[in-house]
Structures are given as structure tokens and as C-alpha cells.
Amino acid sequence: MKPPAAPRRVTIVDVARHAQVSTTAVSKVLRNAYGASPEMRAKVRRAIDELGYRPLAAARALRGRTYTIGVMLPDIRNPFFPEILDGVTGCLGDTEYQVLLGPGCNGEKEETRVTEAMIDRGMDGLVLVAPVSSRVRLEHIASVVPTVVVGRHGRSPAYDTVTNDDVAGAALVVGHLAGLGHRRIAHIEHHETDPTRSAEMPNARRADGYRQAMRDLGLAEEIDVVSTSYTQRGGHQGAQELLARPERPTAVFAGADIVAMGVLEAVAEAGLSVPDDLSVAGYDNTTFSALGPISLTSVDQSGREMGRNAARLLLERITDRSKPSVQVTLSPELVARRSTLPPPA
Amino acid sequence: MKPPAAPRRVTIVDVARHAQVSTTAVSKVLRNAYGASPEMRAKVRRAIDELGYRPLAAARALRGRTYTIGVMLPDIRNPFFPEILDGVTGCLGDTEYQVLLGPGCNGEKEETRVTEAMIDRGMDGLVLVAPVSSRVRLEHIASVVPTVVVGRHGRSPAYDTVTNDDVAGAALVVGHLAGLGHRRIAHIEHHETDPTRSAEMPNARRADGYRQAMRDLGLAEEIDVVSTSYTQRGGHQGAQELLARPERPTAVFAGADIVAMGVLEAVAEAGLSVPDDLSVAGYDNTTFSALGPISLTSVDQSGREMGRNAARLLLERITDRSKPSVQVTLSPELVARRSTLPPPA
DNA sequence: GTGAAAGCGCTAACAT
DNA sequence: ATGTTAGCGCTTTCAC
């Protein structure tokens, strides 16, 4: 069984010939550009339909747009990111733009590879979700192609940002737990080495927010932070460490839902139960947190809304590359569920 | 604050001039093509490094390869798909190829949009995961660009396939439950309308495997199938229906883990518990099934291995487009966890 | 309003 | 072994 040969692609020349006009005319119709009469447009449209013509993005790239938006997600497993993606595609759905994603990239090296690949493929704009690259690198990217950074603080003239107020979000969780009567509230954070990123990354902000809120509530001495990573594995390790403490915390604020998943796993392994032995809260309000057997208290930062904003800002910047940069900050909301209760007496 | 202007891109001409050679020479070095002396190669390599040159994929697309592989995933939320993706990227990591994903697409229309977009962008090969498009459409795609179909049965001369033996997988689950003493074992399937797809889609195979296994075990009269969809919602609805039966099943085989999630949700809502009142098993062995509070019995179809195979086959087909098509079938394995126990006495 | 023609950055015949 | 050159499919001056 041999596969059939590839059919030749219909080009703009075929359309022009079929419609008895020039390729210029076809190009103008395609782009709704100025300088084509209604009759001309109709003629060309008909030829396009009859031949089933679609412009080759690669060829367009050499002269103009590719009508492609690249979205870089750090971790495809984190159920929060699809929310952002939905927002982006939702906003771009009615436009000619097509969204393409990079594969999940862990770390700076992979991130560079993916962003370079997107630039090399002539993408018209980039949405970078929680990038870990240096500021210089981000500004370089933004100087080459319109860019919106989602989920990372730090204003730059080169790119727009969309974030949620992570400090406030962390305070919501700590306030909720303290309100239930907890005092020994621990936090599992994503370990950060780079000082610049410390100031800009959401994980660092959440940790700061946690510390600040603990202090404000007079619980400064109970501050207990374990540094692992924002993955299920990281949550598992962090929880193991916390459960081994001589005096166990009564509540854990995991920096992300995916971290909380790992915590739940470790707690079950230790023969303990949530929330009877330990209250657990996450961040992101992913679809899994709502699941019956999980029912995780979490913070909703409305990823959909973030994605929508990112897409909107990107389209604006593609239209006018020199407009001043914009920073959008959304307010998080607490969603209390069954994984948090007053501490055991 | 105004963003800086875009720097001009380094081209092959710049490299050629800087290295004092022809652009042909540079092109040859880039592609490791025949006809360049070691000294020439060294000179060109140095110029490339000094100038930080990277070939523009869009320009390459017009003449040859883009070194881009497109992966289409039907639903970015289903935690099974990242496994496949890991396998693909793992296999392609050492090559020059870059993987780009389409946004999750539900339904035939979106699927067409994404595959067309990938073709228009000159991708060198496509991996289609559990596509729902018609057979004709798939063969058309494959005639235009090397294609591997993952998670859908049905051999075609035009494309390679990678699947797992869904019939055997379903039999593993039924055998496991029957071995525990269950007789009233129900199944929640994904509703299929199209007759061609009925034969090719994994969901249909699993339902067939369930029926066959029930018959083989002398449980033909207990066969009980509810048709919804492979989503959390579908599982929720299916479970509600089953729980309302005058004689409730003692075990439910959900066609996918994501379906089982919905079942767990519905069971909890009904004030029942798993596995005391009802045993539940899924399919896919996603990371969530291993989670402590869930601990779902499932079938591992090794998505990673599927992805690896898909990437390998794709590279082979890119090298030789007219080689006969290959079908790879992997064997599923049962992973028993705490969600399945003997039925209540 | 319309079309001829010059490229965009790269590859591949085809010389030399 | 190396360079010259003609395109790939499209957009965009710039004539008419």
C-alpha cells in the first residue's frame, strides 16, 4: 500500500489566471486593501472559492503578516493555563489570527528555544505566560515582535503585562485560614534564585503576601515557608517536609492548585486526612479544585479574563507598535471549599 | 515610555559577506549538505556565531523544510494528552525539529481550522491525536503533509497510526472487577454517531471490549452501557443515570479517567462513597488517578510511548514519503488502586 | 482602478 | 569545491 502523491497547491497565480486579473488584484482582495472595485472583488472571491485557495502563511511571512499568534505556556500540565488559553483563543476566534502553542517548557533554556522558534517562524505576536527568562531577554523579544507578558509583574516600556494581585490573593488565603482559627499556617513556595525574578514572579509575590499577612495578623512567629516548585511533585515533597515537623502546621497554603494536589497526595500517604488533620488551600481555582473528592479551597484569578486581556492588548500593539505599554492587574477572589475547616481542638 | 524600534534581522547574506563566501556555502553548512570543505565550514560557523544568525523558517518554507512539526490535541484539559506530547518532544528534542501545538479543538470544524492552519504554515509533519475528522479528510491531510494519527484505529495507506489495544484494555478492567466478585458492572461510553468513526475511535473499541468481556465471563445479561461523552460532565451525567437505576450497578467502568472524575463527583453528591458503595475504574492512568484522595483504578496505555512512536514514524515518513504505512499497537496494563474493591455483601 | 515587476530570505540547479 | 542565478508565493511600490 503506497500513499498517493501530494497534489500541487493552489497559488495566487492560479486564482489570478482563473479570475482573469492580476495577482496584485487578488492580493488586494485578500487583505481588503484599498484599490479594488466591487466587481473585481466579487470576481476574485468567486475564483478563490472555486479553486479552494488559501494563502500560504510562509510566503506571506516574507513580505507581511503570518496571521499567527504564538502562546508560550510554561507547563501544559498545570490546569490553570488552559483557562488563560481559552481567554486568548476566545478573543482571537473571530479574527483572522491563528493561535499556536509552544510545548510546555521548563526553565530558561527551553523557553529561549521556544521563543526563538516562534520569532523565526515569523509570528505576528507573542503571549508569554509566566516566563522565567531575564528581563533583558524579554525586552529583546518584545523589540523584535509585539509581546504581552501574562502572570509576571514588572513594568517595561517594551511590552504589556497582565497579572493578578498575588499579594492580595495570598492575604485572602491567610485571612481565611486565620479566621477559621488556624495559627500554624505554613506555605509552600516555588523556589526562586534570581533576584530580579524574585521581584517579578507571581510565586515570589505570593510568598511575600503570605509573610506580610501573617505579620499583619500577629502571626509573625508562625511563619513557615518551604521552598520547592510549582508542580505536583513539589507539593508532595513540601508536604512531606511539613508533616515531619515536630509541631505540625494545622494548615497549608500551597502556592498553586497543582502544588496542593501533591500535598493531598502526601497527606493521604501519611495516613492523615484533609481537612480533619490538616487544612489545605491552593491558588488558581482550577477545574480540579472543584471536584467532589478534592473540593479544594483556592483563589480565583480568572485566567480566562487574563487571556482575553492579553489577546486584546496584543492586537492593539500589533496595530500600533509604538503605543505606550499597558499594565493590567486583576483582583483575585477567594473560593472557600471543604478542604479548609477550623483546626482540630 | 515608548518601546524601541525593531532591529533588522541578520540574514544569510550578512553571514556570507562576513565570512567572505557565497550564500550557497552558508546554506550548505547550515544543512550539512555535500560540497563544503572543513575550512569553509569552520569559517561559516564562526561568522554565524559572531553575528548570532538564525535561519528564518518562513523563508526556508518557500524552498524546503520549515523544521516544524505540528501536533493537534483535541482537548488540552484532558491530562492524558500531555503524556503523548512528552513522548513526541522527547523524541524530537535532539533533532532540529521544533514542535508547535494547536489550541485544543472540540469538534470537526475546529479541527479542520487547525489542521489547515498548520498546512498553510508549511509544517513538515503533523501528529493528530484522536482526530474526529472523516477518514477522507485525514487522507487528504496526509496526502499534503506527512501525518501520523495517534489514538484512532483504522489503517490507511496514507498515514501511520499509533494506538493501544482498547479492546484488551477494556477486558482488563472488566476482568479485574469480575475477579473482585462484581457482576453488575456498568460502562459509560462516549456517544458516537458516525458509523465509520464507530469502528475507528478508541471509545467505541472500549465499549466493544466491555461487551465482549462481559459475554466471555458469562455476564451478558448484566451488560449496561450509558452513552454520554468523554468529559467530566459526561461522567457526571452518566453516573447520575446509573445511580437512579432500581438495581444499582456495584461497579462502573468509565471510558476515560476524566469521565471517572465526573463519576466520583456524582457519587459524592449522592451521599455515597467509593469504593464502599460503588467501585469505579477509569482509563488512561493520568497523573490525577494516582492522587491520594482519588486513587483511581485505571488502565495505563503509556501515552509517552505512543508519543515517542509517533515522532519516530513521522521522521521516517518525512525522510521517505512513499514508504508503506505502519500501524503500531501498544498493550495496555491495568493499574489497580483503591477505587475498586469487592462489592458490598 | 489596475497590473507589471521588484524583491522578502532561502535553497537548488547549474555553471565554473 | 565553490559561486551564480533562478525561483518559491506573496506583498508592495510605482507606472499607467
Nearest residue for C2, CA–C1': A25
CA distance B114 to chain A (A): 8
> Residue B185 in 3-state DSSP?
strand
Does the CB of B136 have a partner CB in chain A at under 8 Å? no
Omega within 30 of 0 (cis) for the link into B157: no
Nucleic strand C under 7 Å from the C-beta of B6? no
Pick A104 or B115 by higher pLDDT: B115
Q: Residues A205-223: pLDDT tens digits?
A: 999 999 999 999 999 999 9
Spatial contact of B275 and B252, defined as CB atoms under 8 Å apart:
no
Amino acid (one-letter) located at A191: H
Reported as a pLDDT band with limits 50, 70 and 90, residue A196 is confident
Pick B113 or B7 by higher pLDDT: B113
Look up cell 521522521; give the residue.
B315
Would you give the DSSP letter of residue B96?
Answer: S
Residues 266-305 of B with CB under 8 A from A: 266-269, 274, 287-288, 290-295
* Best residue in B62, B77, B119 for a mutation probing chain A (most A CBs within 10 Å): B77
Give span(s): CATH 1.10.260.40, chain A.
Answer: 12-55
pLDDT attached to residue A10: 93
Q: Is the pLDDT of residue A6 over 60?
A: yes
CATH number listed for the domain at residues B68-164+303-332: 3.40.50.2300
The lowest-confidence range among A148-162, B5-19, B176-190, B234-248 is: B5-19
**CATH top class, domain A12-55:** mainly alpha
Contacts of B200 (CB under 8 A, 6+ apart): B135, B152, B153, B154
Give span(s): CATH 3.40.50.2300, chain A.
Answer: 68-164+303-332, 166-301
Q: Is the pLDDT of residue B72 over 80?
A: yes
Reported as a pLDDT band with limits 50, 70 and 90, residue B6 is low
Would you give the DSSP letter of residue A103?
Answer: P
Spatial contact of B115 and B138, defined as CB atoms under 8 Å apart:
no
Grid coordinates representing B92 are: 524530537
State the Cα–Cα distance between residues A74 and A102, nearest whole angstrom: 9
Name the residue among A175, A174, A202, A203 with its Cα closest to residue A188. A203
State the Cα–Cα distance between residues A56 and A9, nearest whole angstrom: 9
State the Cα–Cα distance between residues B165 and B151, nearest whole angstrom: 10
Q: Residues B291-305: pLDDT tens digits?
A: 777 889 999 998 999
Name the residue among B251, B148, B166 with its Cα closest to residue B204. B166
State the Cα–Cα distance between residues B333 and B318, nearest whole angstrom: 32
Q: From its phi and psi, is residue A273 left (phi > 0), alpha (psi between -120 and 50) or beta?
A: beta
The lowest-confidence range among A100-109, A312-321, B194-203, B325-334 is: B194-203
Mark yes or no for CB contact A120/B61 under 8 Å: no
Helix or strand (DSSP H, E) at B300: strand B298-300
Helix or strand (DSSP H, E) at A186: strand A185-190
Nucleic strand C under 7 Å from the C-beta of B9? yes
CATH superfamily of B166-301: Response regulator (3.40.50.2300)
| Helix A303-319 vs helix A81-92: crossing angle, to nearest 10 | 40
Q: Tell me which chain A residues have a C-beta less than 8 angstroms from the C-beta of B1.
A: 157, 324-325
Q: What is the mean pLDDT of residues B153-161?
A: 95
Grid coordinates representing A91 are: 478573543
Q: Residues B215-224: pLDDT tens digits?
A: 999 999 999 9
CA of A153 to C1' of D9 (A): 41
pLDDT attached to residue B63: 87
Q: What is the mean pLDDT of residues B137-143?
A: 95
Rounded to the nearest integer, the mean pLDDT of chain A is 92
Residues 299-318 of A with CB under 8 A from B: none
Q: What percent of chain B has pLDDT over 90?
A: 76
Rounded to the nearest integer, the mean pLDDT of chain B is 92
Grid coordinates representing A184 are: 500554624
Q: Give the CA angle between residues B293, B298, B301 to the nearest 5°.
A: 135
Q: Is the pLDDT of residue A63 over 90?
A: no
Q: Residues B28-54: pLDDT tens digits?
A: 998 888 888 888 899 999 999 999 999
Chain B 30-89, CB < 7 Å to strand C: 30-31, 33, 53, 55-56, 59-60, 62-64
